[in-house]
Amino acid sequence: MKLFVLSEGTRVTPASRIRVYELFDLMAGRGDEPQATIVSYTSDSYCRMVMRGQRIGAVRNLLEKFYHIYALLRLLAGAVLGDVVWIQRVLLPAPLQVILQLLNRRVVYDFDDAVYCYSRRCERLFRRQVASAARVVAVSNVAAGRAASCGAERAVVNVVYTPVDCARLRPVEKPAGRFFTVGWIGSLSTSHYLESIWPELAGFAGCNEDVRFVFIGCPPFDTGALAARVRFVDWSPEAERRELPLLDIGLMPLRDTQWERGKGGYKLIQYMAAGVATVSSPVGANLELVVDGKTGLFAADTGDWQKCLERLLADREQCRAMGRAGRGRAETMFDHEVAADKYLQILAGIEKHD
């Protein structure tokens, strides 16, 4: 099978790296079909600027439009030459959606974020795209339900959680008598969620001197009197593998809006793979990923974050047990081998149907 893949970003973009490049690399390494040609909708230099939080001027944005045109022309060529077209997150202009359907009806649309929330135009394009796709791949059951409500046939909608490589991200034995470490992983675009609960985190640490914080991928912010007990670590694959297993608790705060309900909860998957208990907001995919009281706790209201952390600090054996349960859940549900097999099943289903 010849597969043409249009990825929203490059290997430096988290979602594209994990849901496209790493998965198709894995399948190629195992000797599986398909033969995938991957083209990024966004240039690598632009992706790097976005990830660094750099200001992007009008001229640079204009140049990027030409890159989009180039990528879309390659998409049309790929639709003619390929057996299946796989689109990751990109919402195509309506006329292009029509042309694509004429060239190749075997189109898979994979979305891992609430792309329909960007604007009313995006919502219209999303509706057309999922309604015409031969298969839709959603990041959670919540997202799958959204696709179905927007016109996708429920029978063609598949759920594939954003996977983690459990062979590379593994738990470690934590020495007795060490500090109690609470952490978070993310990027500039999601760091405001962490900052929103900092007053509660600071209150928790203020009552417990052996608490430390590690924030990975978060730009440093003012932590006041607790500055000496907080480490800000630049994200890298090495930092992720080194730092996450050393946490006692991993955090994932969210607001409860349509945008957050469409998120995939990947932080929680990473924490669980590392054998770390979680405390998170009961929003969207988080409700599917976490088994409350077994792999983590939910903090629903103001004050709950500190209460949950106090509970796990007071019962470290329960905290460790949650980490072990989370690891087991990650191995069976969220490992990238599991996701690769699901991708292959989706592609095989298209061939069988046709």
Decide if 47 contacts 15 (C-beta within 8 A): no
Q: Please state the three-class secondary structure of 94-142 as a single string.
A: HHHHHHHHHHCCCEEEEECCCHHHCCHHHHHHHHHHHHHCCEEEECCHH
Residue 178's pLDDT is what? 79
Secondary structure (DSSP) of 42-87: S-HHHHHHHHTT----HHHHHHHHHHHHHHHHHHHHHHHH-SEEEE
Eight-class DSSP state of 156 = G
The pLDDT assigned to 318 comes to 96
pTM reported for the whole predicted model: 0.94
For the domain made up of 180-334, the CATH class stated in words is: alpha beta
Q: What is the reported pLDDT for 176?
A: 73
In order along its 354 residues, the chain shows pLDDT tens digits of 999 999 999 999 999 999 999 999 999 999 998 899 999 999 999 999 998 888 999 999 999 999 999 999 999 999 999 999 999 999 999 999 999 999 999 999 999 999 999 999 999 999 999 999 999 999 999 999 999 999 999 999 999 999 999 999 999 988 777 799 999 999 988 999 999 999 999 999 999 999 999 999 999 999 999 999 999 999 999 999 999 999 999 999 999 999 999 999 999 999 999 999 999 999 999 999 999 999 999 999 989 999 999 999 999 999 999 999 999 999 999 999 999 999 999 999 986 655
Count CA atoms closer than 13 A to 196's CA, side-chain side: 12
CATH 3.40.50.2000 range(s) for the chain read 2-163+335-353, 180-334
According to the model, what pLDDT value does residue 136 have? Answer: 98
Distance CA 213, CA 227 (A): 10
Alpha helices in 180-236 (DSSP H): 191-196, 198-206
Give the side-chain half-sphere CA count within 13 A for 11.
8
Hey, which residues does 215 pair with through a beta bridge? 184, 232
Round to whole Å and give the CA distance between 124 and 170. 42
Check residue 51 and give its pLDDT: 86
pLDDT in tens, 97-135: 999 999 999 999 999 999 999 999 999 999 999 999 999
Query: What number does CATH give the domain 2-163+335-353?
Result: 3.40.50.2000
The predicted pLDDT at position 271 comes to: 98
Bond from prior residue into 282 cis (ω within 30 degrees of 0): no
> Is residue 319 exposed (0-12), middle (13-18) or buried (19+ Cβ within 10 Å)?
buried
Token couple for 336: 């990238």
